[in-house]
Structure 1
Amino acid sequence: MIQFEVNDMTCGHCVGAVTAAVKDVAPEAVISVDLAERAVRVEGVPDADVVEQAIREAGYSPSRKA
């Protein structure tokens, strides 16, 4: 599982945009978003860099969590 902190994700629209961005590059991904914690968890994706770049291109600033 890959985890990101996305501090500029602040509303339901943001959750939808981040989810759509990840699904665009990794349709097989299982995505879990916790808006209160500003956390995005992605499973089933071999390349975390691709996911991170997709979130950035959607206009957000993800940082990978250990």
Structure 2
Amino acid sequence: MLTFTLPEMSCGHCTGAISRALKELDPACELEFDLPAHRLRVQSSADRDEVIEALIDAGYRPA
């Protein structure tokens, strides 16, 4: 499982945008959002670099 801190992630719109981006990369991925902590956990067959690239493309740069 990959864990990222995303300072820009703060609401349901953010989680929706991130979900769409990562599900496009890996439709079977599992996501856990912790909005107060700005934390995202990702279980995916995609590698870390691919996940980071998808997050950045969606407008969320991991800290």
Give TM-score scaled by structure 1 length: 0.87
Q: Does 1:27 align with 2:27?
A: yes
Instruction: Identify the residue that residue 2 of structure 1 maps to in structure 2.
Output: 2
3-state SS of paired residue (1:41): strand
Q: Which runs of 4+ in 1 moved over 6 A?
A: none
User: Which digits, 9 at most, give the CA deviation of each residue in 1:36-65, with x for residues without a partner?
Assistant: 1101101132401101110100011113xx
Q: Unaligned stretches of 5+ in structure 2?
A: none
Calculate the aligned-residue CA RMSD, in Å: 1.1
Of stretches 18-27 and 37-46 in structure 1, the one that deviates more from structure 2 is 37-46
More strand by share: 1
Paired with 1:41 and 1:35, the residues of 2 have a C-alpha distance of 11
The alignment of Structure 1 onto Structure 2 pairs a total of residues equal to 63
